[in-house]
Chains A and B, each alone.
Chain A
């Protein structure tokens, strides 16, 4: 069952309005408090609904709706309804934001702060930053989250979209299919 400050009826209103900041922290079980604290602190300045996927440990949000861990299909609905995705630098949010053509802002979890088992998100972020694009921004610290969300919203208002792209995923799918047929 969804948790958070807002009553369940609020969720349908959020969806009808069609502007929603979706915050994803994954299912790994490690805390990501500096990220969620920053999101919860900045949320009132946006006057937009923020929805946080905060499982497995509940996050005591003051200004955001929290949904905990949800079924895969339900999570896909949130991605579909999102306007901007803000997440840890993990495969899932990066895959699904691209799938649903949503701008994504990520911040890597740091193992030295007890936020991850190892430094794979830091490594991924370092590899992604040089190839960042308007629709995918990789941050170094929490101070970059609010400006990045504002820039993404402004960009969307100005017609920002995913480019037709290099077709990386499609090329990978084709290569795997060919590999099966050999």
Chain B
């Protein structure tokens, strides 16, 4: 059973990340939110991949959203649409001041609704494994982001003036 850290005073940050490398990037920057309340939006996965170590990562709560397919197709598209409904109720409950995204597509419903309906500050961190391009999630979220970080200096030129390089997770 994962132990939950106590709620912290200050900002409430809703981190949204898919599993794999996107989550590893999020885990690397979580110390940025030290002393604040951090909740995570993550896919509802099976087996070992479902586990998130709440205590060591200082995550107070995990909100699970649906993933009905692993490859691009009708099932994945359907779960992506359903994610908007799930994201609405997660945001209604969590009421974060900040939505922090590391992608991938799981971030789009939470980030857009968080920014447009709930007035959250939206910050996106691009993946570190696309030195020469910006992800589709990044392109979708870019116009709505308050701050948009890339992890390679060369990637700044791929987007508008809002894209900024401040460092890399490795």
Contact = CB atoms under 8 A, between A and B. Distances in A.
Interface of A: 26-29, 55, 68-73, 76, 89-92, 94-99, 120-121, 123-124, 126-127, 136, 167-177, 179-182
Q: What secondary structure prevails in chain A residues at the interface with B? A: helix
A13 to B, nearest CB: 24
A181 B13 CA distance: 11
B100 A168 contact: no
A176 B129 contact: no
Contacts of B151: 172
Contacts of A89: 129
A76 B53 contact: yes
B20 A172 contact: no
B85 interface: no
A180 B24 contact: no
Interface stretch (B26-34, B75-83, B87-95, B108-116): B26-34
Given A123-B131, A176-B32, A90 B56 contact: no
A172 B19 CA distance: 21
Contacts of A173: 29, 31-32, 167
A79 B127 CA distance: 22
B56 A73 contact: yes
Contacts of A73: 51, 53, 56
Contacts of A177: 32-33
A177 to B, nearest CB: 4
15 contacts: A92-B21, A94-B128, A95-B28, A120-B130, A124-B131, A169-B167, A169-B169, A170-B167, A172-B151, A173-B167, A175-B164, A176-B166, A179-B121, A180-B121, A181-B11
A175 B166 contact: yes
Contact of B21 (A55, A69, A91, A179): A91
B167 A180 contact: no
Contacts of A167: 167
A123 B51 contact: no
A180 B123 contact: yes
In the A-B complex, list the 4 residue pairs whose CB atoms are closest, starting with the nearest.
A172-B167, A175-B166, A94-B170, A91-B21
B67 to A, nearest CB: 14
B21 A123 contact: no
A170 B34 CA distance: 13
Given A95-B24, A95-B27, A168-B167, A176 B131 contact: no
